[in-house]
Amino acid sequence: MKLHISRQMIYILALAIVFLVIVFIFAFAFLIPSGKEYRVARMESKKISYQVDAVQAEYDNVYERLKGLQAENRHVVSAYKTIFNPDRFKKMHRSHFESFSLSELSGHSLDGEFAVYEVNTSSLIHSPQGFYDFLDAVNKSDNIIGVNFPIHFERDANLIKSSFTMHVYIARKKSGKEDEGEGSDK
Amino acid sequence: MRYSFIKPRKKTLISPEFKLLFFFFTITIGMLFMSYSYLKVKTLMYETTIEERLAKGETLRTNIVSMHDEIAFIEVQKQHAEGVYTSNTVLKESIHNLFDLVPEKITLSQAILKENELELYGVTPSKEVYEFLLLAPLRSIFHRSYTSYYAMPNGWYSFVSKNYLDREISTQ
């Protein structure tokens, strides 16, 4: 039995083989490596996303904690930033004294994160109660103020003359994060 | 005159079989190329996402560090402020207790409070009144108490009382 293959069929078969070779070359040289790249990139992306989500969760926790602390200690935080205003201080605490005077604020020392300023105070009071009320009010004032020794009381007719020093504490560290925290990307 | 019963086939340069083959492979190559393009585009998108996520992660980490600093600073401020407030309150209580300590019979003219020292100036009807009513409680508070008396024309005594608290020296 003689197999008869026409010339045209031979051309077509040859062309088919050439096409097949092209397809295989394309598949092995480009498609499979890019498939691998894709798979690696997808896995890497998932891994990174998982890690970033964990960091985001931690960020959210820390942010909530910071905001809670800031809200809880709003008065203290702002008091450490507030510049001491002698006139305002006198106006706020004048009611506890018969007369009240403050010296110029002067730099005193550094106490860790805080700069300490000293102000000398002299006053006239009717009774020690005025001084007790003043000490209560100082703890609620716009600044962090500590009343220090020595404290000097002296009778002056029906009044008591008192003189003492106060330490005003101002935060030295610049806390820029508080402002930044408001606009952080969440 | 016809020599065949069938119609003669039109002869073309490209045969229908070749066209079919060409069409099939064109479709195949096209699909392969589309798959390749899809994979490339998706890979590129993933890489962009990875870069963005990494940058975001880095920013978040930096923010976390600065927020921790801020938290630590607020804690320090809080503790320091509580210390100052407590010190003021203790001072108030100390002065309150001091003035409560002075009996009605004794009149103070001056009081100087120092960190570990108290100086009192005043008048007392007699030394005994001073010793029983004021010196005794002062001795229970202070480690050392020294009193000087000065007789006054009306028979009363003016006194100067100096009281000291000795700081305990810690030995390590």
Residue-wise pLDDT for A152-184, tens only, equals 888 887 888 888 888 888 887 654 444 444 434
Query: Cα distance from A57 to chain B (closest Cα, Å)?
Result: 10
Query: Residue A1 corresponds to which tokens in the numbers above?
Result: 């039995």
Sign of torsion, CA A17 A23 A28 A29?
positive
Q: Is the dihedral of CA A80, A81, A84, A87 positive or negative?
A: negative
Q: What is the mean pLDDT of residues A18-27?
A: 90
Reported as a pLDDT band with limits 50, 70 and 90, residue A140 is confident
Contacts 24+ apart (CB under 8 A), A106-109: A108/A167
**Cβ–Cβ below 8 Å for A144 and B84:** yes
Return the percentage of chain A with pLDDT > 90, whole number. Answer: 26
Q: Quote the mean pLDDT of chain A.
A: 83
Hey, is the C-beta of A119 within 8 angstroms of any chain B C-beta? no
A43-97 pLDDT, tens per residue? 999 999 999 999 999 999 999 999 999 999 998 888 888 888 888 888 888 877 7
The pLDDT tens digits of the residues spanning B86-119 come to 998 988 888 888 888 888 888 888 899 888 888 9
Percent of chain A past pLDDT 70, that is, above it, reads: 88
pLDDT beneath 70, residues of chain B: 1-2, 168-172
**What is the distance between the alpha carbons of residues B162 and B144, in angstroms, rounded to a whole number?**
8
CB contact under 8 A, A152 and B85: no
**Residues B17, A169: C-beta atoms closer than 8 Å:** no
> Does the beta carbon of A182 lie under 8 angstroms from any beta carbon of chain B?
no
d(CA B91, CA A166): 12
Contact: B21, A26; criterion CB under 8 Å:
no
Q: Residue A162 has what pLDDT?
A: 86
ipTM: 0.77
pLDDT at position A179 is: 44
Q: Given CB atoms, is A62 within the 8 Å cutoff of chain B? A: yes
Give me the pLDDT at residue A1, please. 60
| Interval A116-126 mean pLDDT | 84
Token look-up 């985001």 returns: A56
Of A31, A69, A145, nearest to B32 by CB-CB distance is A31
Question: Do A153 and B70 make contact, defined as CB atoms within 8 angstroms?
Answer: no
pLDDT at A173: 61
Residues of chain A neighbouring B14 (CB-CB closer than 8 A): none
Q: Give the mutation candidate from B47, B53, B99 for the A interface (greatest A CB count, under 10 A).
A: B53
Nearby residues of A161 by Cβ (< 8 Å), 6 or more positions away: A122, A123, A124, A152, A153, A154, A155
Predicted structure pTM score? 0.74
- Locus of tokens 């960020």: A59
**B-contacting residues of A 96-115, CB under 8 Å?**
111-114
